[in-house]
């Protein structure tokens, strides 16, 4: 069994986050020790790690709650769970494309500035009138 702090270390999560997830009902079947403190088994810790992954995927608390509910309903909800994850995956892939576009823009501007500084290219600005 893991204490809250041990579970936090295992899942690389803050104590406050785990407590919040527990209070929001995102960690089902929370057990208590003789002092009424939350304790977690291996399966709980695995799920807590999954919650961290879902959060990094951009899931809101409500989306995590809905996903958890599907998980608790059993094997019959696997197709729906796959759809939920596919939707998140598509959104993440779009973010990657947007980030790559931003990197490409910066690469272009850096090369432009390098060319200007080295004398290979004349400086032209869209912001400064040339007097034409």
- 33-63, pLDDT tens digit by residue? 999 999 999 999 999 999 999 999 999 999 9
**pLDDT, tens only, 109-118:** 999 999 999 9
- Identify the H or E element spanning 39: strand 38-39
Q: For residue 131, tell me if it sits in a domain.
A: no
* Structural domain count of the chain: 2
pLDDT tens per residue, range 72-101: 999 999 999 999 999 999 999 999 999 999
86 and 51 assigned to the same domain: no
pLDDT for 132 equals: 62
* One domain for residues 25 and 48: yes
Question: Residue 64: inside a domain, yes or no?
Answer: no
What average pLDDT does range 29-33 have in this prediction? 93
CA distances from 92 to 1, 56, 102 (A): 35, 10, 15
In this structure, are 55 and 79 located in the same domain? no
Domain span at residue 4 reads 1-59
Predicted TM-score (pTM) of this structure:
0.81
């Amino acid at each position: 069994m893991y204490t809250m702090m041990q579970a936090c270390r295992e899942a690389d999560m803050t104590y406050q986050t785990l407590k919040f997830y527990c209070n929001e009902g995102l960690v089902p079947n929370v057990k208590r020790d003789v002092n009424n403190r939350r304790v977690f088994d291996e399966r709980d810790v695995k799920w807590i790690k999954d919650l961290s992954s879902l959060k990094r995927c951009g899931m809101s608390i409500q989306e995590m709650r809905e996903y958890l509910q599907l998980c608790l309903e059993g094997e019959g909800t696997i197709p729906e769970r796959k759809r939920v994850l596919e939707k998140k995956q598509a959104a993440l892939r779009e973010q990657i494309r947007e980030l790559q576009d931003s990197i490409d823009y910066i690469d272009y501007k850096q090369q432009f500035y390098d060319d200007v500084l080295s004398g290979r290219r004349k400086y032209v600005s869209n912001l400064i009138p040339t007097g034409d």
